[in-house]
Structure 1
Amino acid sequence: MAITGIGSGMDVNGMVKALLNAEAAPKTLQLDRLEKATTTKVSALGQFRSALSTFQESLEKLNDPALFEKRSATSSAKDIVSITADSKAVAGNYNVQVFNLAQTSKVALAGVDNARDALGSGTLTINVGEESLDIDVADGSLTDIRDAINAAGKEMGLSATIVTDPSGASGSRLVLSSTTSGTDTDISVAVSADATGELGGLAFAPPSGVDADFQPSPLDAENPRAARVISYSRDANFAVDGINLSSASNTVEDAIEGVTLTLKAAQSKEALDNAETVSLGVSQDKAGVKKSITDFVDAYNKMLDSVSALTNVTSVGGDDGEPLAAALVGDSSVRSFMSAMRSELGSPAAGEGIRILADLGISTQRDGKLGVDSDKLDKALDDNFEQVNSFFTGEQGLMARLDNKIKPYTETGGILENRTKALQNTLSGVDDQRESLTLRLGKLESRLFAQFNAMDALVSQMSSTSSFLTAQLDSLPGVVNQNKK
């Protein structure tokens, strides 16, 4: 490619470049503007769709009937008894007394000299209530027996440890613990009749008829290695509204329908003697419903902020400045959506009582956002809880109606997705036009260089001819060359 014409001395490359730029500039500027506007609108539609989807999630939460079925449960002494309630629970108040907690069984078997010494052979049968576990021992030590119990007793909640007296008086003991609480689930140990060695000494049956307030007694000074009960299994004993009840577990699920009581501590003797009770309350979870309603209002206002940002016109430089218009100013999809929202929010529901948002203390403010009168909402929840439920939930509820207005915009193959695809096709068209422009400019460049090079060659030829004629004329007789001195 020539930079300067050989014959003419002209800047051929610069001239061709200038002509190409002049040819490309209008189309390039047009394509740049179209690409920028289209890309901005694609991004704006994406933000709009995201704002609608987020608002749609808040509708789903408030349209859940389970929200209105939840119960709030309170206890005046959570350290003694806590309470939870499900949708089956009836609102009410209860007085509870806790006499004693359910307890599990724990026993220490007879002590031996050394936990690693072989005790003999035979079969240990460990009973926990109606469940039993057989441990076969073949010249095994206390350590071997412990390991076998821990491996085989997991499913029935039985575990074993070894406690050793450093002084040697009590020796090494196998301590058995059960996770099964309730009366008649004490641990006992039987040894097979064919047992050998010291294995038979591990047999143990807890004494019966022990008082509920049993506390482990000090070691027997005469026989410090004797087997002993550390704790007896027993039921929890408590009273609900003066009715005495018992439970094998400290988690009580069937005393009051839909209510779960967790007994955590027995009341003091003084409290029981004074007939002190723990007050429990079950009520509809109005606070949870109120929060969900205010969350819906906040979500609507947040969506409105997003829409406003996408449709704003901002003045720049006073009255003479050209205003900046957001990407979706005057957009038909946004206008039709917001019109549908405002219409649905103002449409009264069928039936009596709660028919419009204003009945709940929710009204439209000057800026188009929703505001909440907390006192009026509380009163509506207190006086017309079920009507509030039907106003928001169900196929004809406000949340479902709003959701039906949003779906055509956010669903797959919906309005916004189809518009985005059309804009993306426009961007693809811009790329195609740029490619076509590049090809056309390439051909134009080749043609211009060919023309300029041909012109340069012609100028060069004419220059040579001129030089030849000048030389011939200068050599003719009688011709005076003015350049000669």
Structure 2
Amino acid sequence: MATISSLGIGSGLDLNGLLDDLESAERQQLTPIVAQQQSYQAKISAFGQLESALDSLRQAALELSEADGFTDVKSSLSGEALSATVGDGAVVGSYEIEVTQRARNYSIATEGVADKEALLGAGTIQFTFASDSGPSGGAAEVEVTAEDSSLEGIRDAINAADIGVVASIINDGSDQPYRLVLSSAETGTEAAIASVAFSGDLQSSLNTDGTTEVEAQDAKLKVNGIDITSQSNRVEDAIQGITLDLEDTGSVSLEITRDTAAIEGKISGFVSAYNNLQDTISSLTSYDQETGSAGVLIGNVTVQSVESRLRNTLTDVLTSSGTFNSLSDLGITLEVDGTLTLDEEALGDLVAEQLSDLTHFFAGVADEDGLADRLDTVLGAMLDEDGTLDSATSGLESSIERLQERYEDTEARIDSTIERYRTQFTQLDLLITQMNTTSTYLTQQFEALSAQLGQSD
């Protein structure tokens, strides 16, 4: 708020300073409002930390909520003829694979021309393919205009047509070195080019050179003695859930085994996520007796409810048909401080020997919910829209909005009060100025009268 710099000049009083002191005193009314807003905002941030920790636990539980999460496998490959990628649906097994032929593209080159930029004339290039199921339904053609009929222009026109043919230019170093090379865009016999025909002016300018023809071929391999043919060097259907990329001819042995480490890692990750949540809750609700400092959410009923519901879910005995009914059966112990302790050796034995029962416990079976499903339901009620945390933060946000309205009303009232003080001080300054002027005038008159009386004597 602006102040009147001339205030107090007439009276000689520090009215500006006094007005500033009064304004500072009045604005102290805003301090508790701001403090309360900051307190609510700190709680919203704290709930954000709690939400993040709960979401991490939910994601860890989801990893265990589906039976597929316990079917992880890994591959072991001996030999260099191919690489193998494990995907969904892969099952444990051993495979002897022999690659006898890799797939390749068809290609053929034209006879050479002296200048790759020289115009050869307008015309059409007609392609037929070896199979009706190949590119462009078995046939395609490319129109070449006179102005774009150089070897470079023809190359660009073919590539732009996107018909399953790739064109390039090579230089063979002869007197007429530039050749147009036409290749099938994909490997295999079905994508092969069966014939190339030039018409129009191009018919007399370009001809294919049969001696440069490279026949297309399919990939051929055996898997456990079964003959397999593939149009591509990427073979996706030969072994369930496994993608083979053929890199050379030769024999390899492929072992698909259960990835017990990955399964143990998911359960260990679940325990870690729960313990991280407990650490977060402890930090937000702690109290230090020596310093007197307290966590932002100490005593908060929402946090207490979250912690209680999770603890009950973890400690409830599953009344199911499975072998395991509680976390303690798996070597996972709930400690006094609320954290979980994992017996990794016991878990390793269970994954190796009782994987089906372990899957049943976490993921359930048929119409029975496992522990992970039950946790997801509880966590959903906390994290989803209009859930426990959403309601808590919405209430705090509403309180902040009401405090902001109160702040603005109080500030407006303070401004009005200070403006009234300013008006009063201005009037006081004018009154004292007038009194000082009158006093000066009377003094001057008394002095003049006194002088006259002195002269008359």
Please report the TM-score for the alignment, with normalisation by the length of structure 2.
0.72
Structure 1 Cα separation of the partners of residues 167 and 22 of structure 2: 96
Query: Aligned runs of 1:324-335 on 2, under 5 Å?
Result: 324-335=293-304
The alignment partner of 2:180 has SS state of strand
The alignment partner of 1:391 has SS state of helix
Q: Relative to structure 1, is the Cα distance of residues 143 and 92 closer, same or farther in structure 2, using a 3 angstrom cutoff?
A: same
Q: Relative to structure 1, is the Cα distance of residues 105 and 334 closer, same or farther in structure 2, using a 3 angstrom cutoff?
A: same
Q: Residue 290 of structure 1 aligns to which amino acid in structure 2? A: E
The alignment partner of 1:254 has SS state of strand
Q: Residue 375 of structure 1 aligns to which amino acid in structure 2? A: E
Residue from 276, 280, 287 that aligns with 2:254: 280
Query: Aligned runs of 1:174-189 on 2, under 5 Å?
Result: 174-183=180-189, 186-189=192-195
State the 1:308 CA deviation.
Answer: 0.6
Indicate if the aligned counterparts of 2:140 and 2:163 stay in contact, CA closer than 8 A.
no
Q: Relative to structure 1, is the Cα distance of residues 110 and 34 closer, same or farther in structure 2, using a 3 angstrom cutoff?
A: closer
Q: Residue 158 of structure 2 aligns to which amino acid in structure 1? A: I
State the 1:436 CA deviation.
Answer: 5.3
Q: Deviations over 1:357-414 (max 9, x none)?
A: 2333322345432232222222222222233223223572212222333334333333
Structure 1 Cα separation of the partners of residues 302 and 196 of structure 2: 82
Q: Deviations over 1:241-287 (max 9, x none)?
A: 233332222122232333322211112xxxxxxxxx31112234443
Q: Residue 388 of structure 2 aligns to which amino acid in structure 1? A: I
Indicate if the aligned counterparts of 1:363 and 1:371 stay in contact, CA closer than 8 A.
yes
Structure 2 Cα separation of the partners of residues 440 and 341 of structure 1: 49
Aligned to 1:110: 111
Q: Rg larger in 1 or in 2? A: 1
Residue from 168, 183, 194 that aligns with 1:161: 168
Of 292-301 and 413-422, more deviation after overlay is shown by: 413-422
Aligned to 1:296: 270
State the 1:40 CA deviation.
Answer: 4.0
Aligned to 2:385: 412
Aligned to 1:393: 363
Aligned to 1:45: 47
Q: Deviations over 1:292-349 (max 9, x none)?
A: 2222222111111111111111132xxxxx6222222222222222122122112222
Q: Relative to structure 1, is the Cα distance of residues 310 and 235 closer, same or farther in structure 2, using a 3 angstrom cutoff?
A: same
Indicate if the aligned counterparts of 1:101 and 1:237 stay in contact, CA closer than 8 A.
yes
Aligned to 2:158: 149
Structure 1 Cα separation of the partners of residues 374 and 267 of structure 2: 16
Residue from 324, 349, 355 that aligns with 1:379: 349
Q: Relative to structure 1, is the Cα distance of residues 38 and 260 closer, same or farther in structure 2, using a 3 angstrom cutoff?
A: closer
In structure 1, the gaps of 5 or more residues are 205-226, 268-276, 317-321, 461-485
Q: Deviations over 1:26-74 (max 9, x none)?
A: x778657655654544443343334323433333343244433554333
Aligned to 1:260: 243
The alignment partner of 1:392 has SS state of helix
Q: Residue 175 of structure 1 aligns to which amino acid in structure 2? A: V
Whether 1:336 and 2:341 are equivalent positions in the alignment is: no
Indicate if the aligned counterparts of 1:102 and 1:235 stay in contact, CA closer than 8 A.
yes
Q: CA RMSD in A?
A: 4.5
The alignment partner of 1:418 has SS state of helix
Aligned to 2:334: 364
The alignment partner of 2:238 has SS state of coil
Structure 1 Cα separation of the partners of residues 228 and 16 of structure 2: 104
Structure 2 Cα separation of the partners of residues 440 and 116 of structure 1: 84
Aligned to 2:127: 126
Indicate if the aligned counterparts of 1:115 and 1:142 stay in contact, CA closer than 8 A.
yes
Structure 2 Cα separation of the partners of residues 64 and 352 of structure 1: 16
Residue from 69, 74, 77 that aligns with 1:75: 77
Q: Residue 155 of structure 1 aligns to which amino acid in structure 2? A: I
Q: Residue 129 of structure 1 aligns to which amino acid in structure 2? A: A
State the 1:424 CA deviation.
Answer: 4.2
Equivalenced residue count is 413
Q: Which has the higher helix share?
A: 2
State the 1:183 CA deviation.
Answer: 4.0
Aligned to 1:315: 289
Indicate if the aligned counterparts of 2:54 and 2:379 stay in contact, CA closer than 8 A.
yes
Structure 2 Cα separation of the partners of residues 19 and 196 of structure 1: 99
Of 422-431 and 356-365, more deviation after overlay is shown by: 422-431
The alignment partner of 2:239 has SS state of coil
Indicate if the aligned counterparts of 1:191 and 1:199 stay in contact, CA closer than 8 A.
no
Structure 1 Cα separation of the partners of residues 353 and 53 of structure 2: 34
Aligned to 1:347: 316
Aligned to 2:64: 62
Structure 2 Cα separation of the partners of residues 278 and 305 of structure 1: 50
Please report the TM-score for the alignment, with normalisation by the length of structure 1.
0.69
Q: Residue 378 of structure 1 aligns to which amino acid in structure 2? A: G
Q: Relative to structure 1, is the Cα distance of residues 163 and 11 closer, same or farther in structure 2, using a 3 angstrom cutoff?
A: closer
Residue from 177, 201, 204 that aligns with 1:199: 204
Residue from 376, 388, 392 that aligns with 1:403: 376
State the 1:132 CA deviation.
Answer: 3.2
Q: Residue 85 of structure 2 aligns to which amino acid in structure 1? A: T
Q: Deviations over 1:421-463 (max 9, x none)?
A: 444444455556664597499779979x99xx9xx99xx9xxx
Indicate if the aligned counterparts of 2:123 and 2:202 stay in contact, CA closer than 8 A.
no
Aligned to 1:89: 90
Aligned to 1:464: none
Structure 2 Cα separation of the partners of residues 329 and 396 of structure 1: 34
